[in-house]
Amino acid sequence: MAKMVLWSAMKGRVLLNGQPAAGAVLVRNYSWHWKNEKGADQTVANAAGEFSFPAIEGRSLLGFLPHEPVIEQVMTIEYQGKSYDAWAYFKRDYNHNDENKGQPINVTCRLDVPRALHGGISGLCEFN
């Protein structure tokens, strides 16, 4: 069964006004069209505001059938009682790092700046 990467491994830092957002909770939600499957995982930023996520991989017995891959990704960051829309993206293939044109994902998420388009990512996280 081929591995289908629904959300690539990623690491990065969360900053608020240039300071590490220690204890910020990052929640990744995805919706995989092929299986009509929704899922989520979460992690907490350390004292330096650093975080990492493993890749989320999907499995499908019928995944060998040709289809157009669509995975909707949304990541929110909870910090000091506020929720930030940090990441929105339509992943359109099952490869590692599709989100960053094949390059490993290392981002800085600034909670104090307006949401913007970074590559194909809508939100607060910018590729380093």
Partner 1 sequence: MSILTPSQAAAIASGVYSLRDEPSAAARLSLDDPLNIEGLFGNKSRFTGTSGALMFKPLTGFGYVAAGVGQFSGDLLIATRGTDILADWVTDGNIGVQFGPGGNLVHAGFNETWKSFAPAIREFLRGRNPTRIHCVGHSLGGALAMLNADFITANHIAEVRLYTFGAPRAGADAFAGQLTERIGRENIFRVSNPVDPVPMIPIFPFFHLPLGEEGLQIGATSRLPISFKGHKMTASYVPGVAGKNWEHLRVKAPDEREVKGWLENAAQGSGGFVMGSAKLIDMIGRVLTYLLKAAGKVIGGAVGLAFAGGVTILDQIAWLLNQAVHASVELGRGITTLVGMIFKFLGRTVIQGSQITVAFLRWVLELLFSSLRAAAHLALSVVG
CA distances from 123 to 35, 45, 46, 57, 66 (A): 26, 18, 21, 23, 31
| Cβ proximity to partner 1, 2 vs 44, nearer residue | 2
| Cβ proximity to partner 1, 29 vs 97, nearer residue | 29
Using CB under 8 A as the criterion, what x/- string covers residues 86-115 for binding partner 1? --xxx-xxx--------------------x
Beta carbons of 14 and 48 less than 8 angstroms apart:
no
Handedness of CA 105, 45, 40, 85 (dihedral sign): negative
Closest CA to 37 of 7, 2, 1, 77: 7
For partner 1 (CB under 8 A), the number of binding residues is: 33
Question: CA 80 from chain center: how many Å?
Answer: 21
By CB under 8 A, what part of segment 55-84 binds partner 1? Answer: 62-70, 72-74
Using CB under 8 A as the criterion, what x/- string covers residues 16-55 for binding partner 1? -------------x-x-xx-x-------------------
Tokens of 118: 């970074």
Q: Which residues bind partner 1 (CB under 8 A)?
A: 2-4, 29, 31, 33-34, 36, 62-70, 72-74, 85, 88-90, 92-94, 115-117, 120, 122-123
